A = this chain, B = another copy of it.
Amino acid sequence: MEPFRLTASQAQAKFSDGSLTVEQYAKSLLDRVAARDSTTNAWAYLNPELVLERARELDAIPPEKRGPLHGVAVGVKDVILTKDMPTQYNSPIYVDDAPKIDAASIMTLRANGALIFGKTTTTEFAATVVGPSHKGPRTANAHDPERTPGGSSSGSGSAVGDLQVPIGLGTQTVGSTIRPGSFNGIYAMKPTWNSISREGQKLYSLILDTLGLYSRSVDDLKLLLDAFQLVDDEPVKPFTIKGAKFALLTLPTPEWPDLGPGTIAALKKGADLLRKHGAEVEEIVLPDEFRQMYKYHLQVLAGDGRVAFLPDYTHSKDRMHQSLLDHVENKDKHTRKDQLKAFDELAAMRPKLDALASRYAAIIGPSVLDEAPIGLENTGNASFCAPWTVMHMPVVNVPGFKGENGMPIGLSVIAGRYRDQYLLSVCSEVGKVFEAEGGWSR
């Protein structure tokens, strides 16, 4: 198998037994990028010389001194600071801007031996729905160049889906990690809010922004959680589907938009597969006390966006998307009173939804409305990712299903806050079933 096809964990096994060097692996990934980049346009910055230099440095480390992420190649969303590469936010204000500083996440990954590979495209400041076109054509889906990869973590979703890199970093404030995960047929995890430092990644909302993780296997997600020292209270035991009870949430509350046929079919098939493997699946809707969640999320975004985009607005408002100017100018006249109410009411909902989640092995819900739509201009609807973002709950997009046009569709698997490692143990088993029997394969 060509090295670029390996997951990070598989590549690490080969580094360990000496059958592959990090440099050979990096070359294979770079070859894949070279072959595919003109189609997917997933990279905002990629310097092959730098990648190979870092790879050789990693190879030179004696085996006993190698970190737990030795040689793990990571594509970094271009809203996360990297001291050896530019960070450009897909904004004309920051073209070629290259501050010499690593974000907290990058610092931790590097110290664990990861190979920071390059910067992946993003929508402007990870805060618009316009498909990224970083100094060139727009980023395309890994599986159909005419379809959006989703956003705002467009490049990481596309690059990981297209085997150009095994691990991608994204961010999520609404659905910016989970949506590209579903659209590109990969695992995507938004961990519990504030469980990994978000320092050095572009701010949109303090109370919502979360680092997102992409991979093509649950093992790879676990590698990352371990490096970030994200541990649950309870030790995690292997999960068994048989006898477990899942909640199936087709519509969180009536406020949400209608699902498309692809996701409706995926939810049905997912439930059927779990039942077939011995689980109980209970279809639920959220109690009425959660109905304001949708509205409150938009109010929090408005209040927080007003603060987050003021600095750039102050010096360069002529070079920012209208939706960002609207935030700063408070176009919709949100009051502080409404903003505080949304903030406080969402806070009051969190322990309640944790309690609900604790009654099930996991909650399973839609990741997206349907498969990735045609067109690279708009990155699609992220509504169904919103509940778990505002509730701070860990969520994993598990791939395995397909839409009417054969494009991938994933389902969201959700647990209570700080049950991230537990959630991975669930996804490890659920993922095996969905990937094997869901009907879509890479």
Contact = CB atoms under 8 A, between A and B. Distances in A.
A304 interface: yes
Given A100-B100, A354-B340, A197 B311 contact: yes
B307 A195 contact: yes
A206 B206 contact: yes
Contacts of A339: 418
Contact of A232 (B112, B197, B336): B336
Contact of A228 (B229, B310, B340, B351): B310
B101 A314 contact: no
How many copies of this protein are present in the complex? Answer: 2
Contact of A197 (B98, B105, B203, B354): B203
A83 B336 CA distance: 32
B310 A108 contact: yes
Interface string A57-78: 0000000000000000000000
Given A199-B202, A339-B418, 4 more contacts: A98-B100, A105-B311, A108-B311, A197-B308
Interface in A69-119: 81, 83, 98-101, 104-105, 107-108, 110-112
Given A107-B312, A107-B315, A233 B203 contact: no
A38 interface: no
Given A206-B194, A418-B336, A311 B104 contact: yes
A309 to B, nearest CB: 9
A7 to B, nearest CB: 23
A417 interface: yes
Contacts of A110: 315
Nearest to A340: B417
A323 interface: no
16 contacts: A81-B101, A83-B99, A98-B100, A100-B100, A110-B315, A111-B314, A194-B207, A195-B307, A198-B206, A206-B207, A233-B335, A337-B418, A339-B418, A347-B347, A347-B348, A348-B348
Nearest to A334: B233
B307 A196 contact: yes
Contact of A233 (B105, B194, B337, B354): B337
Interface in A347-384: 347-348, 350-351, 354
A130 to B, nearest CB: 22
B203 A199 contact: yes
A344 interface: yes
Interface in A260-302: none
The 7 closest A-B pairs by CB, nearest first: A347-B347, A99-B101, A336-B418, A107-B311, A111-B314, A111-B315, A199-B203
Contacts of A336: 232-233, 417-418
Contacts of A312: 107
Most chain-B Cβ atoms within 10 A of its Cβ — which of A202, A306, A307? A307
A307 B104 CA distance: 10
B307 A197 contact: yes
Interface in A208-239: 228-229, 232-233
